[in-house]
């Protein structure tokens, strides 16, 4: 299997303000290009694009290609489960929405110390094992957002897991909160294959400060800024695939250009990127990946990731003066100071960000 996977969380849109307005024509063209170049791994999930991603995967991929020509991963939304019966109901719904009778890979979604307890309470591990025994799943695993000690506990208590999906990038490699390196080493210790998510940290390793861009271009001016992040992740051992949430043909073609005939990083390049990551991390005020898990349930319709992105650009001197983008966001969405501190956003944030206090920082900065 080639090491680039198509993450279906940031699909092309006809209306940037509407995550359900997936550009089906462009998505089909992207899939055709992806498949024509020998890539076959697709990853979706129940909440992506406000529960529409699976339907678009069916239209653009499943209905247009033989089932044995691609591999498909989906996830059980553990954070949203309320009863034990939810697992079977949601799983059957996912099979129907995707138009398949089995998943190649199926994961318990976004496990951390709290969601792990939810998964145990509702028998999620037993459920996916049963679906595997019935031939409805080929391999089982889980995606993970927490510290390495929790990952070690889960893998110790559930050695039946075939693989684990981790957030790994050179920005988070030495992070005390994300612990990319420690989590990776824990998975390897348990002999598990690793699927990598967030290799460019939601764009943070694409839109880097100018001095960092210069250093990367000096390494190899023929390669994009994003390529270094993808190749860093793919160069690690025991990596099955690196997921990229590609939003347009340009991003997809760029990824294909260096992943079709993948060349791993040298040790010197690897060490250089880790040092750069440490520098970049200190310049990012709010380490948001723009996954948008926080926005659907916001009672004030605050576009949290967009505000955080503007705040980070201001702090990194990527934008100066009064931001017209901020005014546009205020006019079309909830305002940062509209937050009623209900906390729903913080409960679902995979990065464990203090969103409420960060919104206050945004308001103070731009108001």
191 and 125 in one domain? yes
pLDDT at 35 over 80: yes
Cα gap 129→121, rounded to integer Å: 16
Joined tokens for residue 117 = 């307890």
284 belongs to a structural domain = no
Cβ 172 vs Cβ 146: under 8 Å: no
Angle at CA of residue 41, ends 35 and 45, nearest 5°: 125
Question: Among 261, 265, 264, which residue's Cα sits nearest to residue 37?
Answer: 261
271 and 308 in one domain? no
Tell me what pLDDT residue 1 has. Answer: 79
Mean of pLDDT values over 282-296? 87
What is the CATH number for 122? 3.20.20.100
Residue 255 CA to its chain's centroid (Å): 16
215 and 352 in one domain? no
Cβ 46 vs Cβ 33: under 8 Å: no
180 belongs to a structural domain = yes
338 and 226 in one domain? no
85 and 163 in one domain? yes
pLDDT tens digits, one per residue of 161-203: 999 999 999 999 999 989 999 999 999 999 999 999 999 998 8
pLDDT tens digits, one per residue of 312-324: 888 877 665 557 8
Question: Among 115, 140, 114, which residue's Cα sits nearest to residue 127?
Answer: 140
163 and 25 in one domain? yes
Beta strands, E only, the chain: 4-7, 41-43, 71-76, 103-111, 137-144, 163-167, 193-197, 239-244
Query: How many separate domains does the chain show?
Result: 2
Tell me what pLDDT residue 195 has. Answer: 98
Tell me what pLDDT residue 2 has. Answer: 94
288 belongs to a structural domain = no
Domain C-terminal end among 238, 264, 279: 279
Residues 6 or more apart whose Cβ sits within 8 Å of residue 133: none
Number of alpha carbons in the 13 Å side-chain half-sphere of residue 150: 18
Residue with tokens 């206050």: 360
168 and 69 in one domain? yes
318 and 234 in one domain? no
pLDDT tens digits, one per residue of 244-269: 999 999 999 999 999 999 999 999 99
pLDDT tens digits, one per residue of 65-99: 999 999 999 999 999 999 999 999 999 999 999 99
Mapping DSSP onto H, E and C, the string for 53-73 reads HHHHHHHHHHCCCCHHHCEEE
pLDDT at 364 over 70: yes
312 and 179 in one domain? no
Tell me what pLDDT residue 84 has. Answer: 97
Domain limits for position 322: 304-366
Cα gap 18→185, rounded to integer Å: 39
Residues 6 or more apart whose Cβ sits within 8 Å of residue 327: none
Query: pTM (2 decimals)?
Result: 0.89
Q: What is the mean pLDDT of the chain?
A: 94
Mean of pLDDT values over 91-118? 97
Tell me what pLDDT residue 91 has. Answer: 98
275 and 130 in one domain? yes
pLDDT at 292 over 60: yes
- 164: β partners: 142, 194
């Amino acid at each position: 299997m080639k090491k680039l996977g198509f993450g279906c969380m940031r699909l092309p849109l006809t209306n940037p303000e509407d995550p359900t307005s997936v550009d089906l024509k462009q998505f089909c063209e992207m899939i055709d290009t992806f498949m024509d170049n020998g890539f076959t791994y697709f990853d979706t999930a129940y909440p992506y694009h406000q529960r529409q991603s699976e339907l678009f995967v069916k239209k653009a991929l499943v209905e247009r290609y033989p089932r044995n020509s691609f591999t498909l991963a989906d996830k059980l939304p553990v954070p949203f489960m309320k009863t034990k019966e939810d697992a079977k109901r949601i799983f059957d719904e996912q099979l129907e929405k995707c138009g398949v009778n089995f998943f190649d890979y199926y994961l318990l979604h976004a496990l951390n110390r709290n969601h792990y307890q939810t998964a145990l309470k509702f028998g999620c591990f037993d459920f996916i094992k049963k679906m595997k025994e019935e031939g409805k799943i080929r391999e089982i695993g889980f995606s993970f957002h927490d510290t390495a000690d929790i990952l070690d506990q889960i893998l110790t208590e559930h050695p039946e897991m075939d693989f684990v999906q981790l957030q790994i990038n050179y920005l988070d490699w030495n992070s005390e909160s994300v612990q990319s390196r420690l989590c990776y080493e824990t998975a390897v210790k348990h002999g598990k294959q690793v699927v990598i998510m967030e290799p460019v940290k939601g764009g943070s390793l694409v839109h880097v400060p100018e001095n960092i861009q210069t250093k990367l271009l000096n390494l190899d001016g023929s390669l994009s800024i994003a390529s270094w992040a993808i190749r860093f992740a793919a160069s690690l051992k025991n990596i099955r695939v690196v997921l990229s949430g590609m939003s347009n043909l340009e991003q997809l073609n760029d990824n294909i250009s260096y992943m079709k005939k993948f060349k791993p990083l040298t040790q010197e390049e690897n060490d250089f990127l880790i040092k750069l990551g440490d520098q970049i991390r200190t310049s990012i005020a709010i380490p948001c990946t723009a996954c948008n898990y926080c926005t659907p349930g916001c009672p004030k319709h605050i576009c949290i990731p967009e505000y955080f992105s503007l705040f980070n650009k201001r702090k990194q001197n990527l934008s100066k003066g009064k931001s017209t983008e901020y005014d546009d966001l205020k006019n079309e969405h909830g305002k940062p100071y509209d937050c009623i501190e209900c906390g729903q956003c913080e409960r679902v944030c995979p990065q464990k960000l203090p969103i409420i206090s960060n919104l206050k920082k945004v308001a103070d900065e731009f108001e």
